[in-house]
Structure 1
Amino acid sequence: MSAPTTHRTAEEIGRTGTGPRPLPPLGETREVPLPDVTTTTLPNGLRVLAARRSGVPMVEMRLRVPFAVPGDTADPAFTARAELLSSTMLTGTATRDRVGIDDELASVGADLGVAVDPERILVHGSGLAAGLPVMVGVLADVLTAAAYPDPEVVRERERLVERISVARAQPSTVAREALQRKRFGSHPIALEMPTGEAVAAVEAIEVRALHRAGVVPRGSTLVLVGDIDPDAAISAVTEQLAGWTSSARAHELGAPPMPAPSDLELVHRAGSVQSQLRLSAPAPRREDPRYAAFQLANLVFGGYFSSRWMENIREDKGYTYSAHSGVEFLPGGAVLGVETDVASDVTAAALLETRYELGRMTAVPPTVDEIDAARRYAIGSLLISLDSQGGLASTLAALDADGLSIDWLRERPVRLEAVTPEEVAESALEFYAPSRFTGVVVGDAEVVGPRLRALGGISTGGIA
């Protein structure tokens, strides 16, 4: 008969007589397990990327069509038409109405959606792998014969106006629009959401004309990831999208100016009980040799929960529930964003601590332990993000838009493992100096203004 055992707590299990049990060292991840990608350009100019990722009998689809306004200045009317186009593209064709499209997709467990931003239109969807021909057939019909029926456009126009009204009442939307104006001025990338008035003025005939002129294959990219045979999938796409043609090329967004260092702009939002802090500075792009070191420096500063900034203003000071820093990739460049929301009475204190942590990155470089923790997080989160078909499809589409292939992903862990503490310190010094930043603070200026102005580096802006 075995001797009776006593229950031990997790803390007891994790300790020895001489102290906590040491964690075993993590092995190096030398390569991300990724499939081969078959790439081809169809006769109509469409670029197609297909990859087999089995595991579940599904397929993910991402069609990216560059869809920027002509010229280098924002056009509110174009943005309104583009937004309404994305909302009504799937409402009917010459042979299918909205219900017919939904029913045909549902018959193979599929769905499609459309999104738009200043850079591109994205048609995204997923479905049973066996139903890929049906998905592509519906997509082909929409691309070549979307009807934008007047009643559907009117209905969606009214809904869109209402959604815009609701969104514009949200502090996060106000802060985002103010930041984009501060960073990019009148460049088209700054105008992410149209006004309700501009949308209300759009007619169905204008949406149809915009589709004919801008939704074109040349310069666009289709990504397919799933339990598919890549060659067979490309053959099906070639056949079914043969009728999608145009002599025009999809219009790429021109590179915006990078944000210049300047005072933070205080944007008055009367009666607000919270403030939105949004800081920004130029950052390196993915293909930049400094990017791996920058990524680790960003994680140490504010890129994940255990970062310095989060520990300071959330865990230690209790100023906020969430604080985050991250990179946005733009045509020809990238920007670092630093953002958090805090109560009005601690706005100045939170800004002070944010500037302190930025300065500490340059004066007190990340330690070896901080870098190793960030490195483990970066590699682990990369593997998790690419584990699903949808995550891989979205990442391939984003990389292809920047001229990068799946090899960039395969080599990513090796580059992260190779980064030295000295390189992270150099990146922190180069990219995190407080003097490099600009941005906005959105809040009740009468409440937060006096203390902010006492800190310096604040200019009075507009009214939200």
Structure 2
Amino acid sequence: MTVVTHRSAEEIGRTATGPRPLPELGATREVPLPDVTEHVLPSGLRVLAARRASVPMVELRLRVPYATQAPEHTAIAEVLSSTLLAGTAGKDRVAIDDELAGVGAELGVTVDPERLAVSGSGLADGLTTVLDVLADVLTAPSFADEEVARERTRLIERLTVALAQPRTIAREALQRKRFGDHPITREMPRPEDVETVTAEQVRALHAAATVPGGSILTLVGDIDPDAAIAEVERALAGWTADHAAYELAAPPPITPGDLELVHRPGSVQSQLRLTAPALTRHDDGYAALQLANLVFGGYFSSRWMENVREDKGYTYGAHSGTEFVPSGAVLGVDTDVASDVTAAALLETRYELARMVAVPPTAAEVESARAYAIGSLAISLDNQGGLAGTLTGLAADGLDVDWVRGRPAALSAVTVDEVAEAALRFFSPTAFTGVVVGDADVIGPRVRALGGIS
């Protein structure tokens, strides 16, 4: 009888002469990207369709620019997004849900200062049904008084909880610090503003702002692109308007300066949020900035993460990255730490920023960041949903699938010197501003002693 034994992980990782050497990284496999068929309907709706038949599903993304200068817009838009799928002239909420469930589909709606987004997925052979439902809610939503009242109450409850969360408080303080009173800062309405929203206001906003001109509809899945676009044209033929959707104006540029100490009484943690100007995806230097950011704090093996998490134990996570805004981009540096190490964490953050300038990224650091950037890009595009979201975001930014195809080559072409130049230009501590949110009575004396705090 043969006795089967199992080796431990330690035994597998060793040979008679010692530990097994790690193999060299192989060449990154290319993710084949499909061709994208594009068509602009007479209504002005831009439709993108791509065939990716990995599973018999289709992903849908609709992006409608949804900007305004009106202060009450945020509250009305939130109620609208919560009730858009709650009923139409011919169907109630249950009928809509049943119709979608019959083809294994679901739809969801979100809104922010830039856009209203409808996203979802379903069986590919149920695309006609999904598009018919979408057309119905876009052209004939009921926004019944009782549905608006019900969702308004739920929204107030959710907002009351969300607005008390430290990360929400920090996000709102950061947005005000870098963009002042620009509409981009109105990401979340106040409960008291939602309380006054009426069904009439929701209907009026939908009629004025939920329009096809300037909007983008993306379909990715087991579809024939031309046939899918024809189905869109049939289903959404009645979605028209005499004006285009409202685009958000560019926010003011970030002004470097002191960090703002935001008092949150009784807090046992602090939120550090630093920000600086960055580059858009259109800029030739974007790839170098992307690698410099990864070296600093863009992934787990970054310098900042190694310092404040692995070495000092100040936080569970620290992250930096680029956030795109209309006509621009900003760097964000954020982490949450205990109150008693707030000053120390801020000191180490400033140190790592300065070290990016004084001790530029090494060739080994750049190669590690490059492998991560190319590999994570491939992973993000290896499913229908990831590709649909990417195509929609690129289209809104005036780019297309060729930009994605060119990323591995663009990242591979960046030199160590170019990454060093990006580090010098964008990661100097003097380029940043931001906020520190916490109990000022506890963290204030030590944080202020570091200087650069107002």
TM-score range, shorter chain: over 0.9
**1:284 equivalent in structure 2:** 279
Q: Deviations over 1:92-150 (max 9, x none)?
A: 11101111110100000001110000000001010000000000000001100011000
Q: In the alignment, is residue 39 of structure 1 matched against residue 38 of structure 2?
A: yes
Are 2:315 and 2:336, in contact at CA under 8 Å, matched by a contact in 1? Answer: yes
CA contact (8 A) 1:285 1:334 kept: yes
SS at match of 2:205: helix
Separation in structure 2 between the aligned mates of residue 5 and residue 391 of structure 1, nearest angstrom: 42
Other-structure match for 1:422:
417
Cα displacement (A) at 1:17: 3.9
How many residues are treated as equivalent by the alignment?
A: 454
Q: Are residue 255 (structure 1) and residue 250 (structure 2) matched?
A: yes
Residue 66 (structure 2) aligns with: 67
Unaligned runs of 5+ in 1: 460-464
1:231-310 alignment, distance < 5 Å: 231-310=226-305
Match of 2:112 in 1: 117
> Aligned equivalents of 1:331 and 1:110: distance in 2?
32
Provide the residue aligned with 2:388 in structure 1.
Answer: 393
Structure 1 residue 27 displacement after superposition: 1.9
Corresponding residue for residue 451 of structure 1: 446
Flag the 1:141–1:19 CA change in 2: closer, same or farther, 3 A. closer
Q: 1:48-95: CA deviations, max 9, x gaps?
A: 00000111100000000000014xxxx431111011110110111110
Q: Unpaired runs of 5+ in structure 2?
A: none
Aligned with residue 339 of structure 2, among 335, 344, 347: 344
Shift of 1:8: 7.1
Distance 1:7 1:209, change over 3 A: closer
Provide Cα deviations, 1:258-289, integer angstroms capped at 9, x if missing partner. Answer: 21101000000000000000000011011111
Q: Which residue of structure 2 lines up, in the alignment, with residue 462 of structure 1? A: none
SS of 1:76's partner is coil
Is 1:319 the equivalent of 2:296? no
What SS does the corresponding residue of 2:374 show, helix, strand or coil?
helix
When residues 282 and 6 of structure 1 are mapped into structure 2, their CA distance, relative to the original with a 3 A threshold, is closer
CA contact (8 A) 1:51 1:230 kept: yes
Alignment of 1:75-114 (within 5 A): 75-114=70-109
Kept in 2: contact 1:266–1:441 (CA 8 A): yes
Conserved 8 A contact 1:310-1:322: yes
User: What is the percent sequence identity of the aligned residues?
Assistant: 67
Aligned to 2:428: 433
SS of corresponding position for 2:75:
helix
Give SS of 2:90's match: coil
Q: Is the 8 A contact 2:28 2:374 kept in 1?
A: no
Aligned-partner SS, 1:156 = helix
1:320 partner SS: coil
8 Å Cα contact 1:49-1:222 kept in structure 2: yes
1:405 aligns with 2:404: no
Out of 169, 177, 186, the position equivalent to 1:182 is 177
Does the 8 Å CA contact 1:32/1:409 hold for their aligned counterparts? no
| Cα distance change of structure 1 residues 5 and 394 upon mapping to structure 2, 3 Å threshold | closer
Distance 2:44 2:174 in 1: 36
Q: Distance in 1 between matches of 2:428 and 2:14?
A: 40
Distance in 2 of aligned mates of 1:55 and 1:427: 39
How far apart are the structure 2 equivalents of 1:362 and 1:121?
A: 40
* TM-aligned CA distance change 1:18 to 1:221, over 3 Å: same
Say if 1:32 and 1:413, in contact at 8 Å, map to a contact too.
no
Work out the CA distance in 2 between the residues paired with 1:146 and 1:20.
Answer: 64
Would you say the 8 A contact 1:136–1:240 is kept in 2? yes
Q: Is the 8 A contact 1:53 1:225 kept in 2?
A: yes
Q: Deviations over 1:352-394 (max 9, x none)?
A: 0000000000110111111111111111111111111001001
Separation in 2, partners of 1:298, 1:307: 9
CA distance in 2, matches of 1:424, 1:36: 32
Deviation at residue 18 of structure 1 after TM alignment: 7.8
TM-score, with structure 1 as normaliser = 0.95
CA-CA distance at 1:26 after TM superposition: 2.4
Partner Cα separation in structure 2 for residue 156 and residue 22 of structure 1: 55
Q: Please name the residue that 2:23 is paired with.
A: 23
1:368 corresponds, among 363, 385, 389, to: 363
- Is the 2:13–2:20 contact (alpha carbons within 8 Å) kept by the matching residues of 1? no
Aligned to 2:147, what secondary structure does the other structure show?
Answer: helix
Distance 1:94 1:9 in 2: 62
Which residue number corresponds to residue 195 of structure 1? 190
Q: Of residues 148, 151, 159 in structure 2, which corresponds to 1:156?
A: 151
For 1:22 and 1:55, how far apart are their aligned partners in 2?
A: 32
**For residues 5 and 66 of structure 1, do their structure 2 counterparts lie closer, same or farther at Cα, with a shift above 3 Å needed?**
closer
1:207 aligned onto 2:207: no
Distance in 2, Cα, partners of 1:274 & 1:8: 41
The one-letter code of the counterpart of 1:38 is T
Spell out, residue by residue over 1:312-337, the C-alpha distance to the aligned partner (whole angstroms, 9 max, x if none). Answer: 00000000001000111010000000
Q: Which AA in structure 2 matches 1:62?
A: R
> How many Å apart are 1:16 and its aligned residue?
7.6
1:332 aligns with 2:327: yes
